[in-house]
Amino acid sequence: MNEILIVEDDIHINALLKEALQKEGYGCTQAFSGTEARLLLTMNRYALVLLDLMLPGISGEDVLQEIRRQGQTPVIVLTAKDTIDVKVEFLKKGADDYVTKPFDIKEVLARIEVQLRKSTKEIQKTKISYQGMVLDKDTHQVFIDERELPKITKQEFSILELLLKHPKKVFSKEEIFEYAWEEVYMGETKTLDVHISNMRKKIKEVSDKEYIETVWGIGFRLHP
């Protein structure tokens, strides 16, 4: 379920948005000040943020900056200001879209749907998955069933990336080495073998699944 953070100090508007979003199947978290929103953003991840700018405590602009420091979570600004210059300024500061108050809830829902669809496409570009394993190329993390592999190295990440991009292919040690180390393979196999062994140990720490299969005389592939 997509969890949406509603940051709006007007109790009635906040409640209206929550009710409408929940009817559409979204999860909702409510914040009524910039200070509360910033705290929630440090504790949880959200699929999208609806952000009013006129907030008690920390301003909406500061909350937007905090969101952008953390990543690319879609942000739709809720604003009573409807001049072109103000709207352009919102977009320059990192907002993905804006809705002018008073708004039609159908328009808000439509804009949310558009942003979530765009966000999903971007995530698909930066994440590779196979049988519960997910590689996040943005954060350089690897998860199996949402449990992170501990202390993954650059070469280990690259090896897994290559295998997950082509889950049915058997790669020779030469192909894997040149992809992960970005240098010419000179026939030395110990370095690669050690990294494969270390990766298997790290995988065992978080999962009982066997992900890397040795194809004797050739190299490695993902376990079918």
| Same-domain status, 13 and 104 | yes
Domain end point (choices 108, 125, 142): 125
Domain end point (choices 82, 99, 125): 125
Q: Is pLDDT above 80 for 123?
A: no
CATH number for the domain that contains residue 201: 1.10.10.10
| Same-domain status, 51 and 14 | yes
Q: What is the pLDDT of residues 128-156, one digit of tens each?
A: 889 999 998 888 899 999 899 998 999 99
**Which of 139, 136, 184 lies closest to 164 in space, CA to CA?**
136
Confidence of residue 164 (pLDDT cuts 50, 70, 90): very high
| Same-domain status, 118 and 82 | yes
CATH number for the domain that contains residue 118: 3.40.50.2300
Question: What residues make up the domain containing 41?
Answer: 3-125
Q: What is the pLDDT of residues 46-73, one digit of tens each?
A: 999 999 988 998 999 999 988 988 878 9
| Same-domain status, 136 and 120 | no
pLDDT value for 119:
77
pLDDT value for 124:
60
| Same-domain status, 71 and 86 | yes
Kindly state the average pLDDT of the residues 154-177.
92
